[in-house]
Structures are given as structure tokens and as C-alpha cells.
């Protein structure tokens, strides 16, 4: 019988308690064929590169999380440029954006580093993985004022309103959902879920964070993207099989470097 399969488009493998081999073994049992591990700072970017090199099922993105904006050096951005140019398993830039909830870096610094990553994505022709928390206005202002018109990307861990989703969709970006939509309190997110066209949805875990129901309290892992996918398919009233195929197609349309057998 044909098996339902998923891709986790956003996890942080180096932050998991389990090593990559056992993570990938469980993924296979759970029907998760690939995962994308996301860089957040210079050290994590080096690890992303290593994972991509060691494991065929792993793709990566390189970038600087807004939390780490304060530590970014020019040479580290240059390193990302060079690595992305020569390494086809690096499929995007990020995660980048604004986080004005935690404010671990000054807002101006977050903006500067986000803008530098927009420039890189434009230059390299790869999509952005955007983190925007309590920063809708700042994110819009920066994207709208950007001279780069052909940018593509995804708003990961989407937790904003329908209005902001409209903006994201009008810009041509994708919306990524994770375990948060399974939480009892996430009514607003489920409304957004019904609002976003199927062609623009992609899925993630953000592991090790945000473990979906019914495993809250345990550490999250890429294999649990299957739970998120099943939950959303059921919620939207479409077959899990059809939904998984749609989302897989969306993922590859967005991340054009994600090429694999089968
Ligand atoms: Zn993340």
C-alpha cells in the first residue's frame, strides 16, 4: 500500500537530545522522508552544513535568528554566501526576521541583519525562512521598502492574524504551521488555517520546541510533523493522503533546490 509521507521544513537538529541517526530512523517509521534543519547563528550554521553533508535526507538553511543579530559579523555573512553558492543542499536563507517579544537583540540591529539576509536571498536566488514575532509592522515596513521584488519565502511558525496572513499571501509568501495549531487554545491559528489556500501551506515542527498534542511535555522531533499533517488534514476535512501530497508539492515549489529521488 502507498504510504503517506511528510517533510519537516523547519527543525533545529543540533538542539535535539537524540543524535541525527536515531532521529532519522524514527522519521522513517513515521513516514517523514526529509527534514530541513535551520541555522540560527554562526555555530549552528556550521552544524547545518555538516548534517547536510552526512545525511541524504537532510537539507538546510543558513542564517541569523533575530535573537542572535547582535553577534553577527560581516565575514559570517560572506561565509553564508560562499557556502550557499557551492552547496546545493542549502536551500534557503534563515531563519531571519524580527522578534520583539524577547528583544534579545536591539530592534535596529535586528533590522540591519534581516535586511542583509534579504539582500543575500535576492543575490543567491533562494527563499527566505522568516521568523516574525510581535513585529508585524516592522516586518511589513522592511519587506515593503525593499528594492528586491522577486523575493520568495515562508513565514515559519505562523501565529499572527488573518489580516497579516492576507499580507503574507499577497506578497507571494508561504505560511508554515506546526504543533501550535493542535493546542486547545489556538483558535485564532485554526481560523488562519482555514483561510490560507491549500497551495500556500507548508508544515514544520520547529523541534525541539512546540511538541504537538498528544505528546506535549516531551521533546519535539521531526517525526511529529506527521501528527501536525494528520491533524490539519482532519481539521480541513480533506484526506490525509491528498493533503500530504499537496504539501509536499508546495514544499518543492518553494524550495526549488530540494531535489531527491522518489
Ligand atoms: Zn526555528
What's the start-to-end Cα distance of the chain, in Å? 16
Q: How far is the CA of 193 from the centre of ligand 1 (A)?
A: 20
pLDDT one-digit tens code per residue, 51-106: 999 999 999 999 999 999 999 999 999 999 999 999 999 999 999 999 998 888 89
Q: Which three cell numbers stand for residue 13?
A: 537538529
Is-contact 63 39, C-beta < 8 A? yes
User: What pLDDT was estimated at residue 262?
Assistant: 59
| Integer Cα distance of 57 and 63 in angstroms | 20
Tell me, in angstroms, the distance from the centre of ligand 1 to residue 1's CA: 34
The model's pLDDT over 123-143, given as tens digits with 9 standing for 90+, comes to 999 999 999 998 999 999 999
Quote the ligand 1 centre to 206 CA distance (angstroms). Answer: 5
Q: H/E element holding 50? A: helix 42-54
Q: For residue 241, list its beta bridge partners.
A: none
Angle at alpha carbon of residue 119, lines to 250 and 134, rounded to 5°:
70
**Cα 2 to ligand 1 centre (Å):** 31
What 8-state DSSP symbol labels residue 89? T
C-alpha span between 108 and 69 (Å, rounded): 10
Q: Given the DSSP bridges, would you call strands 32-38 and 6-11 parallel, antiparallel or unpaired?
A: parallel
CATH of domain 6-254: 3.20.20.140
154 Cα–ligand 1 center, Å? 12
Q: Which 8-state DSSP code applies to residue 218?
A: B
Do the bridges between strand 32-38 and strand 58-62 make them parallel or antiparallel, or are there none, so unpaired? Answer: parallel
Short-list 115, 102, 34, 35, CA closest to 72: 115
Q: Give the 3-state secondary structure of residue 36.
A: strand
Collapse the DSSP code of 92 into the 3-class scheme (helix H, G, I; strand E, B; otherwise coil) and give the result.
strand
146 CA to middle of ligand 1, Å? 23
Let me know the angle formed at the C-alpha of 204 by 203 and 206, rounded to the nearest 5 degrees.
Answer: 160
pLDDT of the residue at 1: 62
Q: How far is the centre of ligand 1, averaged over its atoms, from the C-alpha of 5 (Å)?
A: 22
Residue 168: its pLDDT value, please?
97
Residues 6+ apart with CB under 8 A from 40: 12, 63, 64, 65, 67, 68, 95
Residue 229 CA, ligand 1 centroid: distance in Å: 18
Q: How far is the CA of 95 from the centre of ligand 1 (A)?
A: 7
Residue-averaged pLDDT of the chain: 96
Residue 223 Cα to ligand 1 midpoint, Å, equals 16
Q: What is the pTM of this model?
A: 0.96
The domain ranges of the chain are 6-254
Distance from the CA of 123 to the center of ligand 1, in angstroms? 23
166 CA distance to ligand 1 centroid (A)?
Answer: 22
Helix, strand, or coil (residue 99): strand
Find the 113 Cα to ligand 1 centroid distance in Å: 16
Q: Which protein residues have a CB closer than 5 Å to ligand 1 (ion)? A: 206
pLDDT for the residue 103:
86
Residue 177 CA to ligand 1 centre (angstroms): 12
Residues of the chain with pLDDT under 50: none
Amino acid at each position: 500500500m502507498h504510504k503517506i509521507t511528510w517533510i519537516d521544513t523547519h527543525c533545529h537538529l543540533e538542539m535535539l537530545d537524540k543524535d541525527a541517526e536515531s532521529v532519522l530512523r524514527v522519521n522513517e517509521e513515521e513516514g517523514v522522508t526529509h527534514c530541513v534543519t535551520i541555522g540560527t547563528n554562526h555555530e549552528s550554521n556550521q552544524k547545518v552544513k555538516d548534517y547536510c553533508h552526512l545525511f541524504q535526507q537532510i537539507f538546510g538553511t543558513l542564517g541569523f535568528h533575530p535573537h542572535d543579530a547582535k553577534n553577527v559579523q560581516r565575514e559570517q555573512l560572506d561565509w553564508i554566501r560562499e557556502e550557499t553558492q557551492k552547496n546545493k543542499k542549502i536551500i534557503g536563507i534563515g531563519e531571519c526576521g524580527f522578534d520583539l517579544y524577547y528583544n534579545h537583540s536591539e530592534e535596529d540591529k535586528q533590522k540591519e541583519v534581516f535586511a542583509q539576509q534579504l539582500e543575500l536571498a535576492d543575490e543567491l536566488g533562494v527563499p527566505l525562512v522568516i521568523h516574525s514575532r510581535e513585529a508585524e509592522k516592522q516586518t511589513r515596513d522592511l519587506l515593503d521598502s525593499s528594492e528586491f521584488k522577486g523575493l520568495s519565502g515562508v513565514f515559519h511558525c505562523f501565529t499572527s492574524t488573518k489580516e497579516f496572513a492576507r499580507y503574507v499571501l499577497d506578497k507571494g509568501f508561504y505560511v508554515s504551521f506546526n504543533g501550535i495549531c493542535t493546542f486547545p487554545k489556538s483558535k485564532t491559528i485554526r481560523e488562519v488555517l482555514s483561510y490560507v489556500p491549500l497551495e500556500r501551506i507548508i508544515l514544520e515542527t520547529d523541534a525541539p520546541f512546540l511538541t504537538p498534542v498528544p505528546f506535549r511535555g516531551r521533546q519535539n522531533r521531526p517525526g511529529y510533523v506527521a501528527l501536525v499533517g494528520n491533524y490539519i488534514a482532519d481539521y480541513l476535512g480533506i484526506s490525509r493522503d491528498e493533503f500530504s501530497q499537496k504539501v509536499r508539492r508546495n514544499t518543492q515549489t518553494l524550495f526549488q533546490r530540494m531535489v531527491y529521488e522518489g
